[in-house]
């Protein structure tokens, strides 16, 4: 597979020193998120119900907050991460189904790079705290569609090659 060959060429597997926590209470910890909408401009004209800033900087600030919360609340040695969809906002300024224009703050290439970087960084931060990480990604949603699958497929190739304790299902 073409992507896997590129990943193997540029990424060396990493042995992570797992920081075991005493007194686990649960069988697994869980992170569920949805509607990340990478590339979205939330308030293009100033009249949006959901105004505010949503760009690469804000996205990675929220990632840091999320990972810190998870680190402070570890209760098992397994983390299950569920991305319920709409991770990417669209393709060429529309939903992937077409016909629904979306204000965007990134082009397709930038959104791809940011989406992959977000997911890889999440794992890079959390992998030291969990013996096992299982990631489930919903890809055929109404905003991202096949673009979401492409981003998640690249992410899967990278982290499954990089870490032996991470499993991704798209």
Q: Tell me how crowded residue 118 is: count the other CB atoms within 10 A of its CB.
A: 19
CA trace torsion 25, 16, 125, 105 (10° rounding) = -140
Question: Can you read off the two tokens belonging to residue 124?
Answer: 């890079």
Bridge partners of residue 83, in order along the sequence: 33, 137
* Sequence-distant (≥ 6) Cβ neighbours of residue 155 within 8 angstroms: 115, 116, 119, 120, 137, 168
Segment 39-74, tens digit of pLDDT: 998 877 777 776 678 899 999 999 999 999 999 999
* pTM of the predicted model as reported, rounded to 2 decimal places: 0.88
- Give me the tens of pLDDT residue by residue for the chain, a chain 170 residues long: 777 777 777 778 888 777 776 667 779 999 999 999 999 988 777 777 766 788 999 999 999 999 999 999 999 999 999 999 999 998 898 887 787 888 889 999 999 999 999 999 999 999 999 999 999 999 888 888 889 999 999 999 999 999 999 999 99
């Amino acid at each position: 597979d073409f992507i896997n060959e590129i990943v193997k060429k540029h990424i060396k597997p990493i042995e992570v020193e797992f920081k075991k926590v005493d007194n686990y209470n649960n069988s697994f910890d869980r992170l569920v998120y949805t509607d990340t909408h990478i590339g979205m401009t939330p308030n293009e004209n100033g009249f949006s119900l959901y105004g505010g800033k949503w760009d690469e900087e804000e996205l990675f600030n929220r990632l840091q907050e999320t990972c810190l919360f998870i680190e402070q609340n570890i209760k098992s040695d397994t983390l299950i991460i569920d991305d319920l969809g709409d991770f990417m906002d669209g393709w060429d300024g529309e939903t992937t189904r077409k016909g629904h224009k979306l204000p965007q703050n990134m082009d397709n290439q930038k959104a791809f790079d940011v989406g992959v970087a977000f997911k890889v960084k999440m794992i890079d931060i959390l992998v030291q705290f969990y013996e096992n990480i299982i990631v489930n990604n919903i890809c055929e949603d109404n905003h991202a569609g096949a673009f979401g699958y492409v981003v998640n497929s690249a992410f899967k190739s990278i982290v499954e090659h990089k870490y032996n304790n991470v499993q991704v299902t798209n």
